[in-house]
Homo-oligomer: A and B are copies of this chain.
Amino acid sequence: MSIVAVGTVALDTIETPFGRVDGILGGSATYISMAARYFADDVHLVAVVGNDFPVEHIDSLRNCGICTEGLDVDDSGATFAWEGRYHYDLNDRETIATHLNVLTDFAPAVPSGAQKCRVACLGNLDPAIQQQALEQMVAPDVVICDTMNYWIEQTPDSLRETLKLIDCLIINDAEARQLADEPNLIRAAHAIRSMGPEVLVIKKGEHGALLFTDGSIFSAPAFPLEDIYDPTGAGDTFMGGFAGYLSHCRDYSSESLKKAVIYGSAMASFVVEKFGPDRLFALSKEEIDRRVDSFRILAEIPEMSPLRVG
């Protein structure tokens, strides 16, 4: 039931057609841990913030039951800050500014209480830093990892090293095609699994997600949302729900992985309903159960009689 999320804690400035928020709590480790805590009792966050980071945000994370012992406060500079804008179609985002600040020298120190977590989540970071974090873990059951186009392009060799060390990679469809250098997503998935991760999840936003395990493919639908206020953090929230569920059931069979994809999808469908991580503060387990049920209704194929005897 224990999980550690290594990643970023950020101050995000987000503009969408529905409004603008300045310097709100963000970052991959934030979203992962805030989603995972609905499933796991023991959630640890490993990240760095700067001298400008509001103490209320740390309180918020702690009030969610997240252990922030691994949150390093680096007084030498400001917190990693991201500024982005989404246009009306919300599918592509425009990065206005990325200030790495204290993230530049981030060397993750996994506290002893977090080193024995059964599930390790490596949020999107320099692959070398992901490896540093992983070296401090004591034989986790599952290592789940994210990456992005920047590392695929800039640090391909280091990324390949990380891929050899992990059990599950979660990336989006464009990243999968780029990583495998292959436009066909199914072929790309096979190529990526041959690089190391036994399990691959490809997130496709409004088109759902694909899970690739040994010899099987699972296609999960996306929850049909009419109002998406802010897509920020959806991918990290997916990882949090996915990893959280796995740490909850402690079973990593193909059936459990499918369920984990549905929980990840459900959590992601909540987070985009409000700005930033707002929606992750006070969800109920009943709400999550109801949403998970609606995924089943959405995707259920009726029993079909064979044509050949028709």
Q: What is A's interface to B at a CB cutoff of 8 Å?
A: 38-39, 88-91, 183-187, 190, 204, 206-208, 210, 216-222, 224-228, 248, 255, 258-259, 262, 284-286, 288-289, 292, 295-302, 304, 306-308, 310
Contacts and interface: CB of A to CB of B under 8 A. Distances in A.
A6 to B, nearest CB: 25
A248 B306 CA distance: 12
A77 to B, nearest CB: 39
A152 B295 CA distance: 32
B307 A219 contact: no
Q: What 9 A-B pairs come out closest when comparing CB atoms?
A: A219-B221, A89-B183, A207-B207, A285-B308, A285-B307, A186-B224, A289-B306, A255-B302, A186-B226
Contacts of A208: 207-208, 219, 221
A306 B293 CA distance: 9
How many copies of this protein are present in the complex? 2
Given A220-B301, A289-B308, A226 B187 contact: yes
Contacts of A302: 255, 258-259
B262 A301 contact: yes
A255 B300 CA distance: 10
Given A217-B298, A299-B219, A304 B262 contact: yes
11 contacts: A90-B183, A184-B225, A207-B208, A208-B221, A216-B297, A217-B224, A217-B298, A219-B222, A285-B306, A285-B308, A288-B307
A222 B184 CA distance: 13
Contacts of A248: 310
A65 to B, nearest CB: 15
A187 B217 CA distance: 30
Contacts of A38: 307
Contacts of A225: 184, 186
A89 B262 CA distance: 29
Nearest to A17: B183
Question: Taking each of A88, A216, A219, which has the highest tally of chain B beta carbons within 10 Å of its own beta carbon?
Answer: A219
Contacts of A222: 219
Contact of A301 (B187, B207, B258, B286): B258
A303 to B, nearest CB: 9
Given A187-B226, A207-B207, A226-B187, A218 B307 contact: no
Given A183-B88, A285-B307, A308-B289, A301 B299 contact: yes
A307 to B, nearest CB: 4
Which of A187, A208, A220, A301 counts the most chain B CB atoms within 10 A? A301
B228 A184 contact: yes
A225 B39 CA distance: 35
A295 B284 CA distance: 33
A52 to B, nearest CB: 36
A218 to B, nearest CB: 7
